[in-house]
Structure 1
Amino acid sequence: MERRQFVKEVANKMRKNMCDLFIGSGISAPSGFPTWKKFLLPYLESIGITLKEEEDLPLLAQYIVNKNMGNRNIISDAIFNTFAEEYPLNKYHNIISRFPVRTVWTTNYDNLLERTFSDRNPRVVSLEDSLVHPYNDTGLNIIKLHGCAKTAAKDIVLTKEDYDCFQFNKPKFAQRLREAIINKSILFLGYNYQDPNIQLIMTQAYHMMNEITNSHFILMCEITKEDGENDESFNQRKVRFDLWISELNRLGIRELVVPKSEYASVLLEIDRKAHESCIFVTGSHATASPEVEKRAQNIGRFLAEKDEVILNNGQSTGIGSIVLSSFMQHIIQNKEDMNKRIKIFPNPYIASPDYEDDPNLIPDLKSVRLSLVTNSEFIFAFSGGIGTIAEIEVARSKGRIVLPIICEKNDYDNPAIKRILDDESNVEMLKELVTNYMEIIEKREVPEDEDVKKAIQEIIDGKI
C-alpha cells in the first residue's frame, strides 16, 4: 500500500473513533524485553531443540511443558520474573500515547502500555470476568488477551494447548475482538500476525461478514538480509513473506512495509494527520482588554473561514469563549454544520470561579485537559494564568506545538507566554514553521493582525 494513502486512511479512521490499536511484542522489544524466541531459547536447549528461523513457537512451548511433566510453572514463573520488570518506555510508546484511540489490544505480558497511557487513566482488562463490567466508553481500555505478568499462571496464554483452546477458555475475549474486527478498523503494530488465535478470530470474522470485512491495517518493517545469511535463505524468507502478505490481504488487512529506520516516522505522520487542523485556543479567563478581545475575535473568524479547521473548545471563559463565539457566528452565517466544525471537551472547573486560580487543582486540571490537548494538532495561547500554563505544559508533554499570541507589549512578561518562549524545542519548531512571526517575537514587538493570520495560515499549511 502506498505510504501517503496508508497514513491518510488510518488517520481518518482514528479521527472518527473507528480505529483500535493492536500492539505486539515488536513495540516492547526496543525497551529491552526479550523477543519470544529469545525467551524460549534456553528452555529449548535444555530439551535438546535447536531453534530455527520459522518455528511454531506455541508448539515448542508445549514441548517444554510436556517434557516437564505438564508443569507450566517452569515457563510461567520466568514470564512473571522477566516481564514484570520495569523497563523504560521507548520512542514508539511516546508516539502512540498521543493516538486518539479508545481501545488498545495486546498479546504482550509486560506493563509498558499501561505506563504509556497512564495519564489517561486506562481501564486495564487482563481477566475475562472484567469484561462483564461496562466498558469505559469515554476513556481508554487496554485489553490484554494473553494475560499479564501480574496475573495468575492459569490466565497466561502460552502453549499450543492454550492457543487451541483459546476460544473455549476465553470466549468473552474472543467474541469482543471479533466484534471490534467487524465493526471497526484495527491497526496492528509490532506484530507479525503469526499468533494462531488472532488469525483464527480474523478468519471467523471474515466469514461472519460473508467475506466482507472492514479495512484493517498493519505496519511492518521490511525483511533484510541477516549477517552470514546466504542468498538462497534470504530469498526463501522473502518468498514466504510475500505469500504471507497475500494472506493478510485476503483477510482484509492492508499492509505498509517500510525500512526499520522509517517505522517511527510513519507513526508520527499518523499522529499528526489524525489531529490535522484541530486547533485549541487558550488564554486568560479574566475579562479581556479591547485590544485582546478584538484579536481573539479576529482569530476566531479567521479560523472559521478555513473549511478544514476544527475548533476544539474547552468550555473556558475569557479568551476561549470569545474565540468560540466569533467562530460560531461565521458558521451560523454560512449555514454550516456546527457539529462538524466544533468539538466540545467538558471542563468541570467552570462550575465555580473559585476553581480557576486554585493551585491545588492544577494536577486534576492537567488530567482533565489531556483529552482536549491530545486531540489538538496545534495550540494557540494568549497570555494567561496558572490554568493556561497547565494546558501549555500538557500540550508540550505530548509534543504539540504552542504558538504564543502577543496582543500587547506587556504580554512578554506574562508567565504563560514566558513558559512558551523558554521552551527551546518549541521555539525551534516555531522558527521553522513561522519564521517571520518569530523574528517579530524575538524583537519583543507586537505583531499586527496580518502577521498573526499569516503565522496561523503557515501552521495550518504545515510548512515544516
Structure 2
Amino acid sequence: MKQKVKQFVERYLKEIIEGNAAVFAGAGLSAPAGFVNWRELLRPIAEELDLDADIETDFVALAQFHRNKHHGNKGQQNQLLIERFGVPKSPTANHDMLAKLPIETYWTTNYDDLIEKALLAHGKTPDVKYTEAHLALTRRGRDAVVYKMHGDISNPQDAVLAKDDYERYHVNRAAFVTALSGDLVSRTFVFLGFSFTDPNLDYILSRVRLNLEENQRKHYCFFKKRVKLTGETEEAFKNAVVRQELVIADLLRFNIEAVLVDEYAEIDEALQLLHRLYRSKSVFVSGSAEIFEPWGRAKVDAFGRILGSELAKHGYRVVTGLGKGVGDAVLSGVVDQVYRSSKSQLDEALLLRPFPQQIAAGERDAVWKRYREELIGQAGVAIFLLGNKIEDGKNVIADGMKQEFEIAVAEKLIVIALGTSGHAASEIFDQVAGKPDAYFVDLSAEAKSAVLMLGTLDAEPEVMVSEIIKAIAVSTKK
C-alpha cells in the first residue's frame, strides 16, 4: 500500500475517532452496484438529439438541450431516472465498510438509496434529507444524516439534472448550500467516486474558500491514475495526464488533498484498513468463572482490574458483556482509570452490554448469539480467560466463550487466549497454537510470537497485563 494512502488512513482515522469525519459520495461509489453513470443515463437522450454520448462531456447541458426540445417537459427524463435508478440494488462492500464506521454525516449527488440501505443493514437509523422541508426536521434516534443534494429516486420530478435545475439551485435549495458549507467548515470529508465537475459543489467550495482563505479545513479525495485507453492516441493520453495533474493541483485551492491510486482496488484496501484500525482500538474481554483455579480468585480479580485500567490508560475501549466472576473486576479497572484521568470520558473507554436474562428458553440461544455477534463486531482484539460454569452441579467448560471465540475468528479479530488461566481459555489457546498461520493470517512473525507467548505466560498480574498491552500494540501496528 502506498505511503500516501497510509497517511490518509492515519489522518482520517483520527477524525473518525474524534467524531469529525464525513463522506461525500459520487456516482463512482454506486457504479460497482450496477447503477449507471451520467453518460449511460443520458445516452438515449443524446441519441434522440443526434449527438454521440461517447464524445459529449457536458451532460448538464445535454439534459437541458433535451428539455428545451420538449418545451420544458421533464416527463421523459423522470422516466429515465426511474428506469435506471428505481431498480433495487444491494450496497457494495465499500458502502458496507463505511456503514460499519461511526460516521454521522453523508453527502451525495446520487439518487440511489445504497447509503441508507447499508446503514440500516448495520442496525443504524439514517435521517435522509432530499428536500428543504426535510432539513427542518430531525428523525428521532438517528445515527447518521444522509444529505441527497440532487434529490432522491422516490421523488424524480424534483431531481437536479439539467442546467435549469443547477441555475435555480441556490434559490430552490438554498438551505442545502448553507448546510454543506457548514459541514465543509466543521468536518473532514473524504470524496469517493466523485469527479469534481459538479457546478453546485464548485460554487459551495469557492464560497468556503473565499470566506476562510488559508484557514480551510483539510479534506481528501481519491483519483485513479490516468492510463492510456484502448485506441487512444499518444497525444490525447498525454493531454489527459496533464489535465489530471492540473485538476489535482487546483483542488489544493480548496485544501482538498488528492490520493492517487493505480487501481480502484486500492481504495477498497484503504477503507478496509481504516475499518480494521478503528476496530483495533476496541478490545473485547471474554471471561466467566464459577471456579477460579488455577489462578485463584485473588489473582483473577487483580488481573481484571489492572487489565481494565491499563487498556483505558492506553486509549483502548473495553468491550464486554460483563461475564460472571470476571467482568466486574475489568469494569472496576476501567471506571477507576477514567475517573482518575481528565483526558477521557467513560463512553470513550467502555462499551458495556450485560446479557439479557429474561429471554424465553426457546429463544435464548439465537438471541444471545446475535447479541454476541453485534458486541464482538465492535472490536478488533479479543482476550479470553478462564471460561467455566456450573451445570447440573458440575463445573464444565463455558460453551458461550467457545461461541465467542468462533465469532471472533469469523470477524477476523486478533485472538489472545490466556491458556494458563485454564478451562475454555486453555482449549482455545491449544486450538490457536496448533494452527497459528490459520488464525493469524495478517500478523507479522513478531506479532504472532508476542500473542502466542501470552498463552503460556503465568506471572504476576502486572507483568501479564504489560505483555498484553505490548502484544496488542505490535499486532495492530499499521
User: Same fold, TM exceeding 0.5?
Assistant: yes
* Aligned CA distance change for structure 1 residues 250 and 287 (closer, same or farther; 3 Å): farther
Deviation track 1:330-358 (CA, whole Å, cap 9, x = no partner) reads 6677x6634389523464x67x7536989
Name the SS for the 1:429 alignment partner: coil
Please say which of residues 210-219 and 237-246 is displaced more in the overlay. Answer: 210-219
Which position in structure 1 is the counterpart of 2:100? 98
| Matched length | 454
Name the SS for the 1:120 alignment partner: coil
What is the letter of the counterpart of residue 246 of structure 2? Answer: L
Please say which of residues 222-231 and 382-391 is displaced more in the overlay. Answer: 382-391
Which position in structure 1 is the counterpart of 2:391? none
1:312 matched to 2:306? The reply is no
Name the SS for the 2:277 alignment partner: helix
Name the SS for the 1:246 alignment partner: helix
What is the letter of the counterpart of residue 76 of structure 1? Answer: N
1:43 matched to 2:55? The reply is no
Please say which of residues 178-187 and 258-267 is displaced more in the overlay. Answer: 258-267
Deviation track 1:243-277 (CA, whole Å, cap 9, x = no partner) reads 11122110121111111132211222222334443
The alignment yields a C-alpha RMSD, in angstroms, of 4.0
Name the SS for the 2:184 alignment partner: helix
* Aligned CA distance change for structure 1 residues 328 and 127 (closer, same or farther; 3 Å): closer
1:323 matched to 2:327? The reply is no
* Aligned CA distance change for structure 1 residues 364 and 448 (closer, same or farther; 3 Å): closer
* Aligned CA distance change for structure 1 residues 354 and 177 (closer, same or farther; 3 Å): same
Work out whether residues 24 and 107 of structure 1, in 8 Å CA contact, stay in contact via their aligned partners in 2.
yes
Match of 2:276 among 272, 279, 292: 272
**Separation in 1, partners of 2:347, 2:122:** 27
Match of 1:252 among 255, 274, 282: 255
**Separation in 2, partners of 1:163, 1:418:** 64
- Give unpaired runs (5+ residues) of structure 1: none
What is the TM-score normalised by the length of structure 2? 0.79
**Separation in 1, partners of 2:208, 2:72:** 33
Alignment of 1:30-429 (within 5 A): 30-52=32-54, 55-117=57-119, 118-128=121-131, 129-134=133-138, 139-149=143-153, 151-260=154-263, 261-284=265-288, 289=292, 291=295, 294-295=299-300, 297-298=302-303, 301-302=306-307, 304-305=309-310, 308-313=314-319, 316=322, 318=324, 319-329=326-336, 337-339=343-345, 342-345=348-351, 347=353, 353-354=357-358, 359=363, 366=370, 370=374, 376-382=379-385, 383=387, 400-406=413-419, 408-411=421-424, 427-429=439-441
Quick one: percent identity of the two aligned structures? Answer: 21
Work out whether residues 100 and 374 of structure 1, in 8 Å CA contact, stay in contact via their aligned partners in 2.
no
**Separation in 2, partners of 1:426, 1:270:** 23
* Aligned CA distance change for structure 1 residues 208 and 397 (closer, same or farther; 3 Å): farther
Name the SS for the 1:97 alignment partner: helix
Alpha-carbon offset, residue 401 of structure 1: 4.3
Name the SS for the 2:88 alignment partner: coil
Please say which of residues 192-201 and 451-460 is displaced more in the overlay. Answer: 451-460
Deviation track 1:283-307 (CA, whole Å, cap 9, x = no partner) reads 44x7673648635743652574476
Deviation track 1:3-48 (CA, whole Å, cap 9, x = no partner) reads 3322221111111001111111111111222222122122201211
Name the SS for the 2:441 alignment partner: helix
* Aligned CA distance change for structure 1 residues 292 and 167 (closer, same or farther; 3 Å): farther
Alpha-carbon offset, residue 100 of structure 1: 2.2
Alpha-carbon offset, residue 454 of structure 1: 4.9
Alpha-carbon offset, residue 228 of structure 1: 1.1
Work out whether residues 25 and 109 of structure 2, in 8 Å CA contact, stay in contact via their aligned partners in 1.
yes
**Separation in 1, partners of 2:193, 2:140:** 25
Which position in structure 1 is the counterpart of 2:393? none
Alpha-carbon offset, residue 121 of structure 1: 2.5
Deviation track 1:56-78 (CA, whole Å, cap 9, x = no partner) reads 21111111222233221212212
Work out whether residues 287 and 327 of structure 2, in 8 Å CA contact, stay in contact via their aligned partners in 1.
yes
Work out whether residues 125 and 142 of structure 2, in 8 Å CA contact, stay in contact via their aligned partners in 1.
no
**Separation in 1, partners of 2:167, 2:47:** 25
Name the SS for the 1:66 alignment partner: helix
Which position in structure 1 is the counterpart of 2:392? none
**Separation in 2, partners of 1:424, 1:338:** 36
